Structure formats: structure tokens, C-alpha cells
């Protein structure tokens, strides 16, 4: 389900307006030429009338659907958000009826009942069947070797109970350190956080159990509780020490650097790559504006004579793109555009380089787009001026986003 959700909420809203701007004019000319040839034929009843491949209103109509799903697919949704979603869905359906009258299906009617279901049962994640269907598909793929009559189910349940008991014991040891047994507590914490290769059917089910437990723990009671990965000790860079000077009055020259941090159930993994940064893009609100950036490192820093350490994210914040026409995406206003491979410097207006996890609004998705105006010919403008490479981001908040 996640790949389809990303497709309709992130990738397609970015790509489809660009494709329509690039090719709609050409498609219109092809349609007019094909229609003229069809009408010129004396015996044209033997072939269907040509159809317009790219309708000029399709892109905007799709953005209305994406905006609707941005609200409907939130893990948290308020009753006051539903009227806006109804309006967007109604505009999309009427637009689809006008553009593709012969392609209307029963699903286009059934989807209008989703709002009554949300009012009755809450967000769709609480009552849809994707999770159970996924598990059912996994169970049906197992080879039982004639061990029927519930044997495989009993084996799964025994493994589940053993795994749950082991994790409960490890968590108890990790959270209740005893005098003289600090090493035991640290070892238990490492065993909980270690990544394992998943092999075999039982291991696959155990991995699913672990994922459910981890997500439940990390998202419990609506509180953003960071869950940190394994760490190594590194010496802080000079720039990072200067940033810490603004955050602390007294700086300790070392910190624990973590492989990931889980915030609101989403794993954020640091990355220094400008092109490949999976799971490292975040979004926040600072001084009333939205900012997006790339998490470079996750560190836990301790001060001398202060028992409690502080977890911080070192972020390279993107520089906002200005004076560029982005009106193609006005109907899907949760896109934000940034200068390609250009970041805010220390002292620029915006969030500080080091931020606590509580400042993170949500994880974000990033794509690279070319904002050139395809309608300009080579004689209208210089070729070098046509290309404008930029980054575009959108938040992956668990809450419904009203557009």
C-alpha cells in the first residue's frame, strides 16, 4: 500500500503537470490532424473517431484527487476537515465525468461513501483490509508439508510467545540498570536495537511482530518518542562544535552518533548524499514558515556534570526557491520548491542547524524537477535560460492535511 500511496501523493502530482505542459500542445495537434484525416475519408464508419490522448484538464483534475486523498489517508483526521475533502472529491468526479464520460465505473460512486465510514469508524487505517490481506497472502504462500490441522498455526503462536517474552525480558534489563550491572543493561539495549537478517517463514512472521511492536511503542499515546539506533563515538567536527556552542553554554567534545532515529513511527536515517537520501528528508515549521532539510547526523550529546543527555538532529536546511513560476501545482499546494543542492548557511534566516526531535513536523519526500518552460522555442529564449533544476518536497505527515 505504501508504494501506491507514495505514487498518488508524491510522484504523480509532481510528474503529471510537467508531462501535460510538455506534451499537451503536441497531442492536441496530433488529434486535430487525425480527426481531419478521419473526416476526409469517404468510408469512415469502419474505424473509430480519433480520441484526444492528453486532455488539457486531466492534470488539474488529478491534482484535485490527490488533494482529496491527502486528507482521507491521514492517520488522524478531524470532522471539520471532511467538508473540504467532500468538495475536492465532488469537483474531481464531476470533472472526470465531463472528460471521460464513457469510462465511469461503480467505484466512482462507492468512493463517495468513504466519508460516512470515516465518521463511523475513524481514519481508514483503522478499518481497511490491506494489513490482513497482506498477512493472508503471506500465510497462503507457506509450504505446510502435510502438517495440517492447525500444526503450523500452533508453531507460529509458540514462536510469537517466545519472542514476546524474550523482548519483555530484554526491555526490563535495559530500562532497569542495577548497580554494578551497567554492562548487562547496555548489552540488553544493543540486543533490542540490533538489525537481523530475516530468513525463513518463521523469521518473516517474527519480523512482522517486531515491526508492529516497535511501531506501537514508538507511536503510543500520540506522543513523539524517539527510538534510537545503534551508535558509535566520534569526535565532533569544528562546524558542529560551533553549532553546539549556540545550543549549550558548556560544550563536551564528543557525542554518540546514531544510525537512525524513529519519530512518530517513521525511521529517519542520516545521509550526506545530495542525490540519494532515502528516509533522511524532514519538514518543520519555523517562524510561521515551512522548511525542509536533510538530516546529516543524529547525535546524543552529554554535558559535564549533567546526567541527562540531549538528542539532536544535524540538518542541512534547503534554500527556498524564489522568482520561479510554480503555478502548475497551485491545486496541490503542499509542494515546496527549493534551490537544487543549495542549503542555508549558519546565520541565515531559518531553523538552526541543530534541532531537537520535537521540532520535526514530519518526514518528507524529495524529488528533482526541471522547471523549464517547454512552450518556449529555441527562437524565443536562450537555451541556457530554459532549464531550472530544483528540488520539490512534500510532507509525509500522519495527520490529515487540508489543501
Q: What is the pLDDT of residue 295?
A: 95
Q: Specify whether 332 is located in the same domain as 246.
A: yes
Query: Domain range spanning residue 96?
Result: 2-126
62 and 195 in a single domain? The answer is no
Q: Taking all residues of the chain, what is their mean pLDDT, rounded to a whole number?
A: 79
- Report the domain count for the chain: 3
User: Do 278 and 138 share a structural domain?
Assistant: no
User: How far apart, in whole angstroms, are the C-alpha atoms of residue 371 and residue 303?
Assistant: 47
Asked if residues 388 and 372 have their Cβ atoms less than 8 Å apart, the reply is yes
Q: Tens digits of per-residue pLDDT, 73-111?
A: 888 888 888 999 999 999 999 999 999 988 899 999 999
Q: Are residues 173 and 196 in the same domain?
A: yes
Same domain, 266 and 400: yes
Domain boundary residue among 93, 126, 159? 126
Cα–Cα distance, 65 to 67 (Å, whole number): 5
Closest of 327, 374, 390, 380 to residue 23, by C-alpha: 374
Helix (H) or strand (E) holding 299: strand 289-301
99: helix, strand or coil: helix
CA distances from 81 to 260, 309, 395 (A): 33, 39, 18
Please check whether residues 257 and 199 belong to one and the same domain: no
Q: Is the pLDDT of residue 292 over 90?
A: yes
- Domain identity same for 252 and 390: yes
Secondary structure string (H, E, C) spanning 101-129: HHHCCHHHHHHHHHHHHHHHHCCHHHCCC
Q: Are residues 370 and 247 in the same domain?
A: yes
CB-CB contact of 71 with 400 (8 Å): yes
Q: How confident is the model at residue 334 (pLDDT cuts 50, 70, 90)?
A: confident
Q: Looking at 109, 126, 143, which one is the last position of a domain? A: 126
Pairing of strands 310-320, 336-343: antiparallel
Mean pLDDT score, 276-293: 90
Domain boundary among 222, 247, 279: 222
**Pair 273, 387 in one domain:** yes
pTM for this entry: 0.62
The string of pLDDT tens digits covering residues 160-190 is: 888 888 888 888 887 776 666 667 777 777 7
Amino acid at each position: 500500500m505504501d508504494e501506491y500511496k507514495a505514487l498518488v501523493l508524491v510522484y504523480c502530482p509532481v510528474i503529471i503537470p510537467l508531462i501535460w505542459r510538455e506534451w499537451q500542445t503536441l497531442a492536441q495537434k496530433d488529434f486535430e490532424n487525425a480527426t481531419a484525416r478521419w473526416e476526409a475519408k469517404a468510408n469512415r464508419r469502419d474505424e473509430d473517431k480519433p480520441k484526444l490522448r492528453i486532455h488539457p484538464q486531466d492534470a488539474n483534475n488529478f491534482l484535485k484527487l490527490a488533494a482529496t486523498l491527502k486528507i482521507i489517508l491521514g492517520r488522524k483526521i478531524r470532522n471539520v476537515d471532511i467538508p473540504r475533502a467532500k468538495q475536492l472529491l465532488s469537483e474531481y468526479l464531476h470533472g472526470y465525468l465531463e472528460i471521460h464520460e464513457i469510462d465511469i465505473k461503480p467505484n466512482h460512486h462507492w468512493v463517495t461513501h468513504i466519508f460516512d465510514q470515516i465518521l463511523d469508524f475513524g481514519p481508514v487505517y483503522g478499518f481497511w483490509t490491506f494489513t490482513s490481506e497482506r498477512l493472508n497472502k503471506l500465510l497462503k504462500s507457506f509450504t505446510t508439508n502435510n502438517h495440517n490441522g492447525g500444526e503450523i498455526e500452533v508453531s507460529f503462536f509458540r514462536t510469537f510467545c517466545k519472542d514476546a517474552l524474550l523482548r519483555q525480558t530484554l526491555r526490563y534489563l535495559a530500562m532497569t540498570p542495577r548497580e554494578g550491572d551497567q554492562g548487562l543493561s547496555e548489552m540488553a539495549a544493543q540486543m533490542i536495537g540490533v538489525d537481523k537478517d530475516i530468513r525463513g517463514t518463521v523469521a518473516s512472521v517474527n519480523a512482522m511482530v517486531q515491526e508492529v511492536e516497535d511501531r506501537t511503542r514508538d507511536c503510543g499515546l500520540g506522543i513523539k518518542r524517539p527510538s534510537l539506533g545503534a551508535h558509535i563515538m566520534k569526535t565532533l567536527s569544528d562546524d558542529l562544535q560551533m553549532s553546539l556552542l549556540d545550543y549549550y553554554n558548556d560544550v563536551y567534545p564528543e557525542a554518540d552518533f546514531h544510525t537512525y532515529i524513529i519519530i512518530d513511527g517513521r525511521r529517519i536515517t542520516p545521509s550526506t548524499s545530495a542525490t540519494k537520501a532515502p528516509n533522511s528528508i524532514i519538514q518543520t515549521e519555523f517562524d510561521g514558515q515551512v522548511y525542509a532539510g536533510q538530516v546529516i547526523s543524529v547525535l546524543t550529546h552529554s554535558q559535564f556534570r549533567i546526567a541527562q543527555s540531549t538528542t539532536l538532529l544535524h540538518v542541512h536546511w534547503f534554500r527556498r526557491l524564489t522568482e520561479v513560476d510554480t503555478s502548475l501545482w497551485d491545486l496541490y499546494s503542499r509542494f515546496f520548491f527549493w534551490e537544487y543542492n543549495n542549503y542555508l548557511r549558519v546565520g541565515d534566516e531559518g531553523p538552526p542547524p541543530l534541532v531537537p526531535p520535537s521540532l520535526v513536523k514530519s518526514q518528507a519526500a524529495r524529488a528533482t524537477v526541471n522547471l523549464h518552460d517547454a512552450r518556449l522555442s529555441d527562437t524565443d529564449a536562450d537555451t541556457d535560460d530554459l532549464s531550472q533544476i530544483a528540488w520539490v518536497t512534500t510532507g509525509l505527515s500522519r495527520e490529515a492535511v487540508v489543501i
